Structures are given as structure tokens and as C-alpha cells.
Chain A
């Protein structure tokens, strides 16, 4: 029995195979674990350690460095409101305070029904539609309190399930082809191609 569901376990193995070294799949695998469980569980970290040839402590140490990985449970929807410079100039702090009141949780906290976690984020690189709001890392472009409240209503009633999938950034599109080939085979091809080019250059030089 693996901790990853059968389909995600297969995907995890595929992800590892994309890289010359297994440990490179660390961040994608952590995303995958979060997509399955909502946060990165101890069991997931143990399995990721096995998949990447590291220890659970190394997995935890890496995951803890990155803001997007949650090592404890969060709401179904993680709502991020940006207050960095461009959003500050567009009233991001007021929108964050409004979000806190609407969702009934403090910044960094989770609503009583477990549906929402609110975060104050750093720049999300969408500064022309400020203040920027993301839900599960999808841009929702609700720049006013009214739009924000409508968004929360839509989320509560499941009307945005297609636009805002559950946690994670990898869930909707899979790599469909071109899995890694043997690097030695490619190196051989590269050497052949270089020899052919040099021959062609020599011919052209004559």
C-alpha cells in the first residue's frame, strides 16, 4: 500500500523519471501530495523520501522552506490577498481586512467551517488588476469588496469548481509524452550530429 492513490502514485513515478536525478522531483511530488491530501502529511513525506532517495527529514526540511507547502491542515480554499507595493497602492490592505471579516478568520487562520484559509501574500505578478486575489493559486480578479463577497458565495455553493480546483498546481494538465530517454543514447546521437556538422562545414569550406 502506498500513501499516494494508485493514479497519483503512477504520476509520481512518471515525475521522477523526467529528471536526470530523482531528488529533482521533490517540489513536484510535494505539490502532488498536497493535491491529494490538502496539505503535506507525514506519510506523504515518507513516501516522497523513498521516491527521491532522501530521508523524511530532508523532505520536511525542503518543504518547510517554501511558502506554498502546508505542513498542517488548511481550508479547502486557500485565499491569498496581496498587499505588496502595487497592491498597497490599490488598497490591498483594506481588501485583506475585508476578506478577514467576510471569511470570519484572521490572516493566517482558517474559518470555523474549515472551508477557507486566509493568507497575506507577497507579489503574485498580476499587478495590473490590483489588489490581486488568488484562490488555490488561481487568479480570481476580485479587486473590490463586492466582487470578493460574490466570489466567496460562489465558492461556498460550488459554482467555481471548474475554475478553482482543489489544492495544487499540477492537477489539471498532465505531461502526455516525451518521457525521458536514455541520456547515453542521446549523447551518442549528439556526437554523431556534431561529426556530421563538422563534415558538412569541412565540405563547405572547400
Chain B
């Protein structure tokens, strides 16, 4: 049985048609978190976020409080919000920027106050045309309301907030590539070390990069206290989280539920959540956290939706997006499409990723469309081993960023789980499902 009694922390306003307006926001407690934060010392605000044990909601799941405390020794120059949401089947930030832009803006102002930053940027993927409008509108209204600009709400704190449009590049979700794009360059991830923008970020200065959902949690955390947030969830996975469910389910969508208290089965089958598989078919496999994550079979459906719980089983909760594939799904076609995506989106800096993705895509193409060979299956794994040696999880790095070594996940999972499906494609001379 799904556990659905937890508070709605970031999706409480979505039920209103005008949830994006300042009027609705103010009517429902908007900017109260900021007013409270401004009565506290910045260090106290940061301490509340630390106490909340909020894991970053972008995909890597790094504790947000610790990301900030790495910088407390030296002044931070910039706060940058990552709204480049491009991981296939991830659509929770899209939901937040369109439905509750003021909540995001308030969260950013609170975080900027905690970090004592006077310049912040919200980077949104360019395809969010409506989201860009809504966030810009919210920023305009926040300036008029006195929540942004000089001497916010009469305090001594000032902040300038700029919304920055991306232009169609998955790689810009990688925080150093995002910073390059914000500097007006190609979205090439930067060579590490330094590993964190906290050391060398925007214009070479210390920069904090946080995800849209992470920021949207800030008003609630400040109003209710970090402890109240940490009391939700379980283990290291505190609070609620937005899960984006898609694929072969009756009721795909974004659902805010408490972490760990619910399982994949709850999310997929509960009538108030996914509502079960279309036509009551059996599940063949699920992708538990974006297409960079290794797949799970139906035997793991009772696993709790928690970061460590999923990691222990050799995958990741990642961006919180879950894709359901049923018994009618051709896993070879699904894998080919995922690899085609990586091949298109490789930025081209590193050989294993640039060349490897193209080779993998061509082999997957011929398996799916006819012309595949029996030895292709092991050739795929050999190629994957060159991109991420040992095919371990998390993958070994051979490249500047994690895009390349994320590619083998789906191929390795699909072959491990459904090797016979690949052979059937070879014997059939193409896809038997066509």
C-alpha cells in the first residue's frame, strides 16, 4: 500500500489553475519563508538546510548543505540554478518552472541570502519557452514586490536575479558545461580537477550550482525547519521528492511522495499514482532514474524509492524519473533509441564518447533494422568496456564528464537481462516485433 499522507512540499499549489501568479502565491504563504530567512543570520539559514539533509535533486544526489559548506570558508561569488532538465523521461523541473515559478524564485533568494551572494542566475533549457516566460514574469513581479533588487524587504540584503535561456544541448545539464554556456561559449564540460564549481566556477570564481527542485524546497525548509524535513523519508533520503513516471502506465505524471516510504510498485500501481500498466500487461523492465541508469527487472519492484536503496542494487535514483517497459516492448529498439540519443548529444571532446557512441549506435541500428550478427552482442559489450572499463556501477571514468561512461548502462543491462532478444533479432534479420 502506498503511503500518501506526507505533506506536499513543492507541489502544494499545482492544483490551482493560476498557481504561477503572484496573487495566488501570496495567498498561499508565498515569500513568508524569505521574510523569515531575512530575520536569521545567513549561517543559520544554511544550518537549517544542512539539518534538512536535503540531497540535491538534479541527479547526482550530493547533499545540498555540504555543497554550500564547502564554500563557507571563502565568499561565494555566484549562485547558478540548473534548470537544463534534459535527461530523457525527466520532467519534474518543467512542472515546477511552469506551475510554481515564484516558489523557485523565492528558493533562489533564500539560498542567495544564506550564501551571501548578490548575483544569481537561473539557467533554463531553451525549449521551456513557456517556463522562461513564467519565470521571467515571476522575477519581474518579485522586483516590484520588493523581494528582489536593492535592500530586499527593507533588509540590508540585495540580489539581482537573471533568467538565462539555454539553446538545446543535453550536455549543458553537466554543471561545468552549463557554466561555459552561461559564459557564452560552447557547452563543453571542463577538465577536472578542480572537481567543483565551488572552487572555480563562473568567470573562474567560486560558484554554487543547484537544481530547480532543490531550490524549490527552500521556502518550506526555512518556514518549517530543517528537522521537520529530515523527519520525512528514511535513511539518507530525507523529505519528499518529485517522481516523474512515464512509459507504459495508465496515468503517467509527476508525483510528490515521501522518499523510502514508498516502493516502485506503489508508484506504478497505486490508483492515485501510476494506476498500473496499460492493458494490465506484465512489466518487462523499468529504468529507475533516467536513461543513464542501469535497468531493473520486475523482481525489484518492491524496492523502496530511496537513493541508497537503489544504489545498493546497482543502479541509481538519479533524476527521479522512472520509465516502465511492458512485455510488448522491444528492448533492442529501446536500447537503440537511448544510444542514438547519447550519440547525438556527445559534445565531441573525448574520443571514447564521441567515437564510441557512434559505433554503438550503428551496431544497435543494424541489430534492430536487419544486418546484425551473432558476434555483435559481445562486440557491444567489448566496446562498452572500452568506454567504461569493467562495466562496473558507478562506471569507471575515461572521459572529462559522465556522459560517455553513462552509455553502457542500458546496453549492458539489456544484454544481461534479455540476451535472447538480441539473438532473436539476428536470426529474424531485424526486429521480430515489427
Contacts and interface: CB of A to CB of B under 8 A. Distances in A.
A65 B143 contact: no
B184 A190 contact: no
Interface residues of B, number: 74
Contacts of A186: 118-119, 158, 160
Given A125-B93, A178-B149, A194 B323 contact: no
Interface of A: 18-21, 23-28, 30-31, 52, 54, 61-62, 65-69, 83-86, 88-89, 122-128, 130, 134, 136-139, 169-170, 172-178, 180-181, 183, 186-187, 189-190, 192-194, 196-197, 200-201
Given A127-B244, A128-B91, A194 B116 contact: yes
Given A85-B338, A122-B88, A126-B91, A177 B165 contact: no
B399 interface: no
Nearest to B252: A128
B248 A89 contact: yes
A89 B245 CA distance: 13
A31 B126 contact: yes
Contacts of A122: 86, 88, 170, 341, 344-345
Interface stretch (B128-136, B371-379, B380-388): B128-136
Nearest to B166: A27
A85 B287 contact: yes
Contacts of B150: 181
A64 B91 CA distance: 26
B35 interface: no
Contacts of A23: 183-185
A25 B158 CA distance: 22
Given A127-B252, A181-B150, A190 B91 contact: no
**What secondary structure prevails in chain B residues at the interface with A?**
mixed
Contacts of A130: 246, 252
Contacts of A65: 169, 186-187, 347
A93 to B, nearest CB: 9
Contacts of A30: 167
B319 to A, nearest CB: 10
B209 interface: no
A117 to B, nearest CB: 14
Nearest to A192: B156
Q: Which of A18, A194, A201 has the most CB of B within 10 A?
A: A18
B140 A176 contact: yes
B207 to A, nearest CB: 12
Nearest to B150: A181
Contacts of B158: 181, 186, 189-190
B325 interface: yes
B234 interface: no
B144 interface: yes
Contact of B127 (A28, A125, A181, A189): A125
14 contacts: A20-B203, A21-B184, A24-B182, A27-B167, A61-B186, A66-B168, A67-B167, A84-B89, A122-B345, A123-B89, A125-B93, A175-B139, A183-B119, A190-B116
B57 interface: no
B184 A52 contact: yes
B174 interface: no
A178 B93 CA distance: 25
Contacts of A138: 129-130
Contacts of A61: 186
A89 B140 contact: no
A183 B70 CA distance: 24
Q: When A and B form their complex, which 5 residue pairs have the shortest distance between CB atoms, in order from nearest?
A: A26-B184, A67-B168, A66-B167, A68-B168, A23-B184
A91 to B, nearest CB: 11
Contacts of A194: 116
B165 A123 contact: no
Given A27-B164, A27-B181, A85-B247, 17 more contacts: A28-B165, A31-B126, A65-B186, A66-B166, A68-B126, A88-B334, A89-B325, A125-B127, A128-B252, A134-B127, A169-B127, A170-B165, A173-B137, A177-B144, A183-B119, A186-B119, A197-B42
Given A89-B325, A186-B118, A125 B165 contact: no
Contacts of B85: 125
Nearest to B347: A65
